[in-house]
Amino acid sequence: MRLDPSRVRKRLHLASGLILGVFLLTHFSNHALGLISVQAMERGRLTFNLLWRNPLGGIALYGALAVHFVLALEALYRRQTLRMPWKEKLKIVSGLAMPFLLVGHVTATRIDWVLSGYSAGYYDLLPYLWGKPIDRLDQSLALLLAWAHGCLGFWFWLRPKPWYPRIALPLYTLALMVPLLALLGFAAGGRSLGAALPSQSWFMKGRTDPAVLAEIRIALFAGLGLSIAGVLIARLIPMRGKVRIRYPDGRVLSVNRGFSLLEASRAAGIPHVAICGGRGRCSTCRVRVTEGLDRLPPAGKAERATLERINAPDNVRLACQLKPQFDVAIAPILGADNIGVKVQTPEEETGGRERRVALLFCDLRDFTRMSQQHLPFDTVFLLNRYFEMVGEAVEGAGGVVNKFIGDGVFAMFGLHNRLNEASLQALTAATEISHGIRLLNQRFESELTRPFRVAMGMHAGTAIIGRIGYGQAAALTAVGDSVNAASRLEGFAKEYDAELAVSADLLRQAGVSLEDQPTYPISIRGRTGTLETLIVQDARSLAPMIEAARKAEATPAAERG
């Protein structure tokens, strides 16, 4: 069986990171015992030494440290561009800086112990560090940097897991409390022993000569520095051959072989979505290959699994994993512009008031089933594109997106204008949503197992407008019989397999003629009588009636003018 180098690297990186993470947790816990006493710290040190200072523990710890550092250098060398999100930069910089900060500590403890057999404890180290502010600062910075690097690594690893949100809060709490308690314990222990240098014990007979330890420190610093410098110099050596990458807008990039498509986009400053950070764990960076497909290297195991998960066609590849060796033309499938959606929250009085408004409920049909066939990253991305489209349609027509409910949207019209104008705005928004959903289907045709479909319910009437909720969750919204009616009409649109169910009350307020339009008397739960309703299969068909209503409204004003 042929090993996948990328998969081997990832597993080695994860295994070494887990070992180092366990060591940091035990080491920090030991420091935190300083809040009790230095004696407690010393007892903890002797206990933890049973784990880390036996032959197997020592090989695991320092083997993991060496593997982790070598993999960091190798990743730095393979990375074709240093343009990356700030979290990735912080992870790389902290990982490379950490060994320099730990050299002094490792030399004075582990290396001294290996050479002389003397195990320096807290009674030796704390007074020494406490008497030297620079060394004390260096040690504290090393602690924080090591922990930050580990937390970032675990965050990148755990973030795509479906169960991560359930444990995120306890993990964040742990990530903050562990280093805080360690620093407090370190400070408490140092203050309790004072700053008297233990000259007789620190340089006692039987310990390694300080001059020898100093030479070892210099050698370690030089080795680390030369390793990083060598990698940076090697990056400057141009690779043989160039690859041309052509984008849909006509731009052509010429990059060295070995660049991934995502790295090429980042190096050129071309926006390219990659929610997982370019690790092949999502499919948001995927591209459609329009030329050169037959000469591309085959997808690796991780990339192939992701593409199969979303039923991607043969001409779709992950930009973060694909490193073309020949010229290629691509088209990013998911746009990078404004992934999120802004909810418009108008400034209103917090007290309740009655107002005649037009209300719109819009729901994405069968999205639960659709989401089961996509990765979580893609589900969120597609849902946000839908919300963005609906939000722009509502706000463009003059309404307010009040809230998002699962895969549904609730919008209000008429907070600052008359009901007849608000009703026309709501109808306009419905036609734009109908048009927009078809554009989304065209854009993501190859990615969707079934096209997007919406169901909308609309009604006009009196509602209570006010800020409702508790604390930070309080928001301006509408309640009342009219809101319930609009929500129920959305359900009837689904029952009739139509895009829109709109009440005759709203249509009359908008000035839309109902002649030759079949309406249905619909019973609304909790409401006496029936609600005359127009069922519309394609909301775009309302456009001529809306235009006629606008002209009819404008004609009297023109005659008066």
- pLDDT value at 312 more than 80: no
- pLDDT value at 64 more than 50: yes
d(C-alpha 73, C-alpha 85), whole Å: 19
Asked whether residue 345 is domain-assigned, the answer is: no
Q: Does 469 or 447 have the greater pLDDT score? A: 447
Angle 431-453-356 from CA coordinates, rounded to 5°: 45
Is the sign of the CA dihedral 455, 461, 464, 466 positive or negative?
Answer: positive
| Contact (Cβ atoms closer than 8 angstroms) between residue 186 and residue 31 | yes
d(C-alpha 549, C-alpha 432), whole Å: 17
Asked whether residue 346 is domain-assigned, the answer is: no
- CA 360 → CA 15, 213, 286, 432, distances in Å? 52, 75, 35, 13
Predicted TM-score (pTM) above 0.95: no
What local confidence, expressed as pLDDT, does residue 467 receive?
Answer: 74
Give yes or no: residues 198 and 273 share one domain.
no
- pLDDT value at 176 more than 90: yes
What local confidence, expressed as pLDDT, does residue 200 receive?
Answer: 45
Task: Read off the pLDDT band of 351 (50, 70, 90).
Answer: very low
- pLDDT value at 536 more than 70: yes
d(C-alpha 549, C-alpha 555), whole Å: 10
What local confidence, expressed as pLDDT, does residue 158 receive?
Answer: 85
Computed over every residue of the chain, the mean pLDDT equals: 81
Give yes or no: residues 296 and 381 share one domain.
no
What is the count of structural domains for the chain? Answer: 3
Give yes or no: residues 379 and 247 share one domain.
no
- pLDDT value at 7 more than 50: yes
Question: Where in the sequence is the domain holding 523, given as residue range(s)?
Answer: 353-560
Asked whether residue 343 is domain-assigned, the answer is: no
d(C-alpha 93, C-alpha 89), whole Å: 6
What local confidence, expressed as pLDDT, does residue 522 receive?
Answer: 85
- pLDDT value at 145 more than 50: yes
Give yes or no: residues 267 and 225 share one domain.
no
Q: Which of 24-38, 267-281, 305-319, 416-430 has the lowest mean pLDDT?
A: 267-281
Could you report the per-residue pLDDT of 183-218, keeping only the tens digit for each? 999 889 888 876 544 544 444 545 677 788 888 889
Give yes or no: residues 136 and 246 share one domain.
no
| Contact (Cβ atoms closer than 8 angstroms) between residue 244 and residue 253 | yes
Domain containing residue 40: CATH number: 1.20.1300
d(C-alpha 95, C-alpha 69), whole Å: 8
Q: Does 373 or 560 have the greater pLDDT score? A: 373
CB atoms within 10 A of CB 559: 7
DSSP string, 242-263: EEEEE-TTS-EEEEETT--HHH
d(C-alpha 23, C-alpha 61), whole Å: 8
What local confidence, expressed as pLDDT, does residue 275 receive?
Answer: 67
* Residue 294: partners with Cβ closer than 8 Å, 6 or more residues away: none
Asked whether residue 47 is domain-assigned, the answer is: yes
Give yes or no: residues 137 and 193 share one domain.
yes
Out of 236, 251, 268, a domain closes at 236
Give yes or no: residues 376 and 504 share one domain.
yes
Strand-strand pairing, 328-332 and 242-246: parallel
Give yes or no: residues 58 and 161 share one domain.
yes
Asked whether residue 340 is domain-assigned, the answer is: no
Out of 270, 303, 332, a domain closes at 332
Domain containing residue 375: CATH number: 3.30.70.1230
Give yes or no: residues 14 and 59 share one domain.
yes
Task: Read off the pLDDT band of 126 (50, 70, 90).
Answer: confident
Q: Which of 294-303, 308-317, 339-348 has the lowest mean pLDDT?
A: 339-348
What local confidence, expressed as pLDDT, does residue 553 receive?
Answer: 76
Asked whether residue 370 is domain-assigned, the answer is: yes
Give yes or no: residues 80 and 218 share one domain.
yes
Give yes or no: residues 254 and 148 share one domain.
no
Beta bridge partners of 413: 358
Asked whether residue 348 is domain-assigned, the answer is: no
> What's the mean pLDDT in 155-162?
78
**CA 388 to chain centroid:** 18
What local confidence, expressed as pLDDT, does residue 534 receive?
Answer: 93
d(C-alpha 194, C-alpha 236), whole Å: 50
- pLDDT value at 271 more than 60: yes
What local confidence, expressed as pLDDT, does residue 199 receive?
Answer: 45
Residue with tokens 């463009």: 396
- The long-range contacts involving 129-136, CB below 8 angstroms and separated by at least 24 positions, are 129/190, 130/190, 130/191, 130/193, 130/194, 130/195, 131/195, 131/196, 131/197, 135/104, 136/190
Out of 178, 205, 236, a domain closes at 236
* 3-state class (DSSP) for residue 319: coil
Domain containing residue 306: CATH number: 3.10.20.30
Q: Does 172 or 269 have the greater pLDDT score? A: 172
Instruction: Give the chain's end-to-end CA distance (angstroms, integer).
Output: 85
Give yes or no: residues 49 and 183 share one domain.
yes
Asked whether residue 339 is domain-assigned, the answer is: no
Classify residue 408 as left (phi > 0), alpha (psi -120 to 50) or beta.
Answer: beta
Q: Does 135 or 500 have the greater pLDDT score? A: 500
* 3-state class (DSSP) for residue 413: strand
d(C-alpha 410, C-alpha 426), whole Å: 12
